[in-house]
Amino acid sequence: MKILKYFFLFTITALVFYGTAEAQNHYVFGANGSYYIPFGSLADRFKPTAGGSFYFGKETDEIWTWLGRAEYFIFDNENTEKLFLKRKLKVNGVESDYEIPLPDLKLSLEAAGFAAVAEFKILETNFLNVKGTFGFGITRWLYERSAYYDSLYIDTTGAGGMKLAQVLNVPAGSQVDWSGTFDLGVDVNVNVYGPVWINTGVRYKAIIGEIWPALDLDFENISTFQMFDIRAGVRIKL
């Protein structure tokens, strides 16, 4: 991973510079690994996933820091417990509700974006600071859904065996778009040595995009992609 190698080399350079120059700790850069937890309608399609971000910015005064951040993640682990059809079926004269799983359905949501982020200090000591953060940006996302061609049966054991519920003939679907994003969060930074800090945090993130419905699969539209981002990484202050 070339980008991680360059980040490591830049960190070593920063440590040398810190020991030889009279820096005022005004510039910051770093990288984070993230664990994205979807909620709302997005959680009905996907399980949590991993991703990452890189950022660079400047402390403009004792309170505020402004950053530019690049970010990437992909949801590609389907929430199979929620991927099913609900159908009513009459067996032996009695109508009942059945849930039919869709084990072969494949979904993914890939996103890459940029954001302007503002940080403001909430608490600061000699080796630790706590900051509130908020950001606004733009994200390019790609949603893909596999085709689904199958005859779905319901197990009515004891009342007639297997019974055909529906024949699905749903073509694949794909969407790509640019959408606005915003996020709110809290970061905790702990000084390790000189300009090197360990950064941890949590934030709420929303991408204002829309995934179209697929009525044959009981999929309603998703108008906003909401998630929590739990992250950790390294920050350098110069």
Question: Looking at residue 87, what is its pLDDT?
Answer: 78
Res. 21: pLDDT tops 50: no
The backbone torsions φ and ψ at residue 82, rounded to the nearest 5 degrees and listed phi first, read -105, -5
Question: Looking at residue 91, what is its pLDDT?
Answer: 66
Q: What is the 3-state secondary structure (H, E, C) of the chain?
A: CHHHHHHHHHHHHHHHHHHHCCCCCCEEEEEEEEEEEEEHHHHHCECCEEEEEEEEEEECCCCEEEEEEEEEEEECCECCCCCEEEEEEEECCEEEEEEEECCCCCEEEEEEEEEEEEEEEEEECCCEEEEEEEEEEEEEEEEEECCEEEEEEEEECCCCEEEEEEEEEECCEEEEEEEEEEEEEEEEEEEEECCEEEEEEEEEEEECCCECCEHHHCECCECCEEEEEEEEEEEEEC
pLDDT tens digits for range 173-232: 999 999 999 999 999 999 999 899 999 999 999 999 999 999 888 899 999 999 999 999
pLDDT tens digits for range 46-91: 999 999 999 999 999 989 999 999 999 999 999 999 998 887 776 6
What does pTM read for this prediction?
A: 0.84
Question: Looking at residue 161, what is its pLDDT?
Answer: 65
pLDDT tens digits for range 88-127: 776 666 777 777 888 889 999 999 999 999 999 999 998 9
Res. 165: pLDDT tops 70: yes
Structure confidence at residue 24 as a pLDDT band (50, 70, 90)? low
Highest mean pLDDT among 13-17, 21-25, 126-130: 126-130
Res. 14: pLDDT tops 90: no
Question: Looking at residue 146, what is its pLDDT?
Answer: 95
Res. 32: pLDDT tops 90: yes
Q: Show Cβ contacts of residue 21 under 8 Å, excluding neighbours closer than 6 positions.
A: none
Q: Do 150 and 168 touch, CB atoms closer than 8 A?
A: yes
